Structure 1
Amino acid sequence: MDEEIIFRPIGYIRSPYGDVNDMPKSPRESGDVEAEMIINEEYLESMSSMQAGKEYMVLFHFHKSKGFKQKVPFRGDGPIKGLFSTHAPNRPNPIGVTTVKIVEINGNIIRFTGVDMLDGTPVLDIKDIL
């Protein structure tokens, strides 16, 4: 159970947020702000059924995360909660998940709303919301 798991990013996020203090805490807070996922071209075929106007889950690596605490303030300044009841970025395995809405797909570039990731965030996977 302690074996190491290695993920390789399928792309990265180009976001207007360069600092965690400026970033929305959830996709609902980001409004109409747009960002882009730049997907490695080797995965173009995997993108073939994706559609503008649809929502997708994006799994990503909290690449600026350092350490973690088991209890944290909810949304950064709310009541103290157990880590697994939050979306806090500092986690034992710093994996994030969010829901985005696709605005446009142009080749390997996916423009979307619902951005709550930092610029340069590695994308691990994209899943359709069924």
Structure 2
Amino acid sequence: MDEKIVFKPIGYIKSPFEDVKNMPKSTRESMDVEAEMIINEEYLESMSSMEVGEEYMVLFHFHKSEGFKQRVPFMGNGPIKGLFSTHAPNRPNPIGVSTIRITEINGNVIKFNGVDMLNGTPVLDIKDIL
């Protein structure tokens, strides 16, 4: 159970948000904000069926998170909840998931709305919403 798991990013987020304080708490707050995913070119074939206008789940690494608490304020300032009932970035395994809507695809660059990630965030995976 103490096995270490290592991930290699498939790309990175280019976001207007440099600081957690100014970042939206969820994609619902940022559907009018555009950002980019720069995907490593070795994964271009994996992007071949992605479509503009479609929604996808992006799994990413909360690369600026440190430590965690098991009970946190919901959305940063709401009622106290158990960590697993929130999207708080400080987690035992700092993995985030967001739903985004693609606005443009140009080679290995995916423009999207719904950014709630910091600039430079490593992308772990992208999944279609079925």
Q: TM-score scaled to structure 1, two decimals? A: 0.99
1:8 aligns with 2:11: no
Hey, what's the Cα distance between the residues in 2 that align with 1:13 and 1:91?
A: 20
Q: Counterpart in 2 of 1:124?
A: 124
AA paired with 1:97?
Answer: V
Aligned pair count?
130
Give 1:25 deviation, angstroms: 0.2
Q: Deviations over 1:24-69 (max 9, x none)?
A: 0000001311000000000000000000000000000000000000
- Ranges in structure 2 where 5+ consecutive residues have no aligned partner: none
Hey, what's the Cα distance between the residues in 1 that align with 2:42 and 2:30?
A: 30
Q: Deviations over 1:80-130 (max 9, x none)?
A: 000000000000000000000000000000000000000000000000001
1:81 aligns with 2:81: yes
Q: Counterpart in 1 of 2:90?
A: 90
- Ranges in structure 1 where 5+ consecutive residues have no aligned partner: none
Provide runs of 4+ in structure 1 moved above 6 Å: none
CA-atom RMSD, angstroms?
0.4
AA paired with 1:37?
Answer: M
1:72 aligns with 2:72: yes
Q: Counterpart in 1 of 2:42?
A: 42
Q: TM-score scaled to structure 2, two decimals? A: 0.99
> 2:101 aligns to what SS in structure 1?
strand
Percent identical across equivalent pairs?
Answer: 81
Hey, what's the Cα distance between the residues in 1 that align with 2:103 and 2:30?
A: 14
